[in-house]
Amino acid sequence: MKHQPFHFSDNRGVKKMSEIKSDFIENIENGKMNYGDVAGGRLRLYRGEIDLSEKTVAAGDTVKMLILPEKGKVVSRRFGATVSLGTSTVSVGDGTTAQKYRAVAVKTDSTPEELLSPDAEACGETYVLTVATANLPTAGKIWIDALVADV
């Protein structure tokens, strides 16, 4: 009886996995252009900051923090304070919806926190901090950062 050699390259009976492509890859393969703000654009940091030793922010106040440019895509945005805001509760919205990016909550540390999911519509919007209860402290700083990809 003659033995047949075993070939490792025989793929019969092996199921090939599906290949799924993102919109970005499909556009490239179909000859379509991707937006410059997503492919090869620049990243820019926009920061709105308030020095609490220079401005009094009381319960019920709204603070216009930042306006993003019309073009671009928000990659990330964060809210932070250099001090505890004590018992103050604050939210971050767009001027129409007070809690669009951060629900009303206390901020008792200086660790920056991500705001709710970035979305394309966020470019061109105004970021407004609303103080729901208790005055903000009279020292330290509060800030909102937005990292935007644009051309």
The CATH number corresponding to 41-150 among 2.60.120.220, 3.40.50.300, 3.30.499.10, 3.40.50.720 equals: 2.60.120.220
Q: Which two structure tokens, joined as six digits, stand for 113?
A: 């926190």
Domain boundaries, the chain: 41-150
Average pLDDT across the chain, whole number? 82
- Looking at residue 103, its pLDDT comes to 87
Lowest mean pLDDT among 43-47, 97-101, 116-120, 126-130: 116-120
Write the single-letter amino acid at 44: R
- Considering the entire predicted model, what is its pTM? 0.71
Residue 33's pLDDT band (cuts 50, 70, 90): low
Residue 53 CB-half CA count within 13 A: 5
Residue 140 vs residue 151, higher pLDDT: 140
Nearest-angstrom CA–CA distance, 143 and 80: 5
Residue 115 pLDDT > 90, yes or no?
Answer: no
- As a three-state string, the secondary structure of 36-82 is CCCCCCEEEEEEEEEECCCCCCCCCCEEEEEECCCCCEEEEEEEEEC
Write the single-letter amino acid at 88: S
Write the single-letter amino acid at 4: Q
Range picked from 16-25, 28-37, 118-127, 142-151 for highest mean pLDDT: 142-151
- The percent of residues above 90 in pLDDT, for the chain, comes to 36
Residue 2's pLDDT band (cuts 50, 70, 90): low
Q: What is the DSSP letter of 93?
A: E
Residue 53's pLDDT band (cuts 50, 70, 90): very high
Residue 124's pLDDT band (cuts 50, 70, 90): confident
Q: 28-35, long-range: CB within 8 Å, 24+ apart, which pairs?
A: 35/73
Going from the C-alpha of 48 to that of each of 15, 17, 28, 93, 99, the distances in angstroms are: 54, 47, 36, 14, 18
